[in-house]
């Protein structure tokens, strides 16, 4: 299994550096943001599997020809109290357990913190805003600055609009903005953003993690744009973006992103279906690699 451990270590290094950089620089991603989002998630998940799998396989190597067989031998030895491992294996397995616990703790703490922030935000909204009589699950905030965002909370999710935004936009533009925010809620983009935020926190501000989080946040906006454009019209949404920029509470929106979104709405160039299918298959292959290395004795 040492060969498989080395392969996973090499994959982990690739997914921690050059692959995210190349993906962030790729120009095709704005033409197929949903596909790019799938690929980003595959890169992140495969990276986690590779980071954990490399030391795990190295530690289990003396116990069997594959990870499942070695784990069975490990469990049997622990039950019998007759397990003998070289110090290098003990160190590798301890490192795997510690790293897995570290990553899980960051995911849990990030999720708990964000959930608490949203509960407080929701409580404030009930005091500072009023229900929109014309739209379901929408609240109006008495704020002159143009503002629109969604507050995910399961069945209690709401879209928040400011009076300034309502006054600034034409009816079709406002409908497009509401459709955009509704797409965030329906597609649970908050879960994707939370995962990448946790990944960045776990890596202590590692630049590649920050790059991944920023690019995923931009792609989430484009995916919501595409959904809103199908429901309310691309031209109406483009005009709304040009006028005020659709601000998102979770991530914020830069002027560069506003221009990028407006440009693709006005001059769409969707990626051909064959290319999108190939990229999805590449994402599946990226996830299958670590899984195969962990499961099959042929990689021993």
Question: Which residues make beta-bridge pairs with 22?
Answer: none
**Predicted confidence (pLDDT) at residue 103 exceeds the cutoff of 80:** yes
159 inside domain: yes
250 inside domain: yes
254 inside domain: yes
186 inside domain: yes
Torsion angle of C-alpha atoms 206, 207, 210, 215, degrees rounded to 10:
-140
User: 23 φ, ψ to 5°?
Assistant: -70, -40
Q: Which residues contact 174 (CB under 8 A, 6 or more apart)?
A: 161, 165, 166, 240
Which residue segment(s) compose the domain that 207 sits in?
A: 103-269
173 inside domain: yes
* 26 backbone φψ class: left, alpha, beta (φ>0; ψ -120 to 50): beta
Of 85, 245, 255, nearest in space to 149 by CA: 245
Of 161, 158, 122, nearest in space to 143 by CA: 161
Burial 56-81 (b: 16+ CB within 10 A, else e): bbbbbbebbebbeebeeebeeeeeee
Query: What's the pLDDT at 279?
Result: 95
Render pLDDT for 123-181 as a digit per residue (tens, 0 to 9). 999 899 999 988 888 999 998 888 889 998 877 889 999 999 999 999 999 999 999 99
12 inside domain: no
208 inside domain: yes
Render pLDDT for 199-244 as a digit per residue (tens, 0 to 9). 888 887 678 888 999 999 999 999 999 999 999 999 999 999 988 7
Query: Per the structure, how many domains does the chain have?
Result: 1
* 201 backbone φψ class: left, alpha, beta (φ>0; ψ -120 to 50): alpha
């Amino acid at each position: 299994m040492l060969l498989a451990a080395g392969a996973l270590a090499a994959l982990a290094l690739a997914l921690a550096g050059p692959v995210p950089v190349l993906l962030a620089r790729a120009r095709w991603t704005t033409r197929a943001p949903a596909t790019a989002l799938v690929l980003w998630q595959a890169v992140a998940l495969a990276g986690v599997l590779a980071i954990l799998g490399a030391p795990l396989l190295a530690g289990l190597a003396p116990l069997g020809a594959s990870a499942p067989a070695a784990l069975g031998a490990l469990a049997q030895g622990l039950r019998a109290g007759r397990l003998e491992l070289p110090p290098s294996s003990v160190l590798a397995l301890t490192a795997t357990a510690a790293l897995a616990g570290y990553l899980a703790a960051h995911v849990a703490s990030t999720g708990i913190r964000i959930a608490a922030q949203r509960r407080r935000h929701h409580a404030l909204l009930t005091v500072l805003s009023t229900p929109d009589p014309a739209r379901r699950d929408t609240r109006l905030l008495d704020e002159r600055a143009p503002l629109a965002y969604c507050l995910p909370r399961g069945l209690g999710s709401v879209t928040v609009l400011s009076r300034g935004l309502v006054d600034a936009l034409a009816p079709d533009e406002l409908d497009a903005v509401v459709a955009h925010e509704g797409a965030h809620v329906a597609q649970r983009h908050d879960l994707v953003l939370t995962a990448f935020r946790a990944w960045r926190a776990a890596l202590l501000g590692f630049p590649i993690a920050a790059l991944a989080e920023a690019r995923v946040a931009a792609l989430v906006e484009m995916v919501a744009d595409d959904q809103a454009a199908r429901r309310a019209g691309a031209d109406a949404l483009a005009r709304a973006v040009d006028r005020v920029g659709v601000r998102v509470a979770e991530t914020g929106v830069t002027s560069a992103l506003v221009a990028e979104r407006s440009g693709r709405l006005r001059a769409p160039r969707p990626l051909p279906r064959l290319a999108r299918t190939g990229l999805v298959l590449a994402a599946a292959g990226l996830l299958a690699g670590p899984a195969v290395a962990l499961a099959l004795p042929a990689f021993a």
